[in-house]
Amino acid sequence: MFIGQDTRVFGDWFMLHFTENEGMAFGMKFGGKTGKFLLTSFRLLAVGALGWYIHKNATKNPPVIFVVCLSLILAGAAGNTVDSLFYGLIFSDSTPWMLATSFPEGGGYAPLFFGKVVDMFYAPIIHTTLPSWIPFKGGDEFIFFRPVFNLADSAISVGVVIMLLFYRKFWKDL
């Protein structure tokens, strides 16, 4: 498999698509090296604060689903944080023609705090062409759910969505 090459798992709507994300959700980046350092630092602080919050409230007998949601968010955030911290130390830089290799001679491509997060799931559920009558975008290619994501991103998203759906119940009981 090469970077950007798709390996079909379930037809055209679920594929493995290896990519290294330098930033945060949906590949957004800010502030170059300083921004990357701040992002990884924020991730570390958020994981620590969320872990502390779960531990503190576990003794208050919260609803199980509340703890499950927070734990999903914590696990996903911790997974992405580990990639940000250590991936650059452990792997060589990938190229469009060759995937990264582990423990390369001479060390990895980036120091601590500056690693990329590996994303690999791609689910373009709808892939079509927009009707020509739509202003400004008519005739353009349209892909519903274009982002490439990983298991950690999925855990965070599921935890947040469930929490938002049942928001009042979670917070009212605490």
User: With contact defined as beta carbons under 8 Å apart, do 24 and 96 qualify?
Assistant: no
Catalytic (active site) residue 119: yes
Contact, 122 vs 17, CB < 8 A?
Answer: yes
Catalytic residue among 12, 140, 153, 173: 153
Considering 6, 119, 140, 173, which one is annotated as catalytic?
Answer: 119
**Annotated catalytic residue 93:** no
Q: What are the tokens at 102?
A: 């582990």
- Catalytic residue annotation: 119, 153
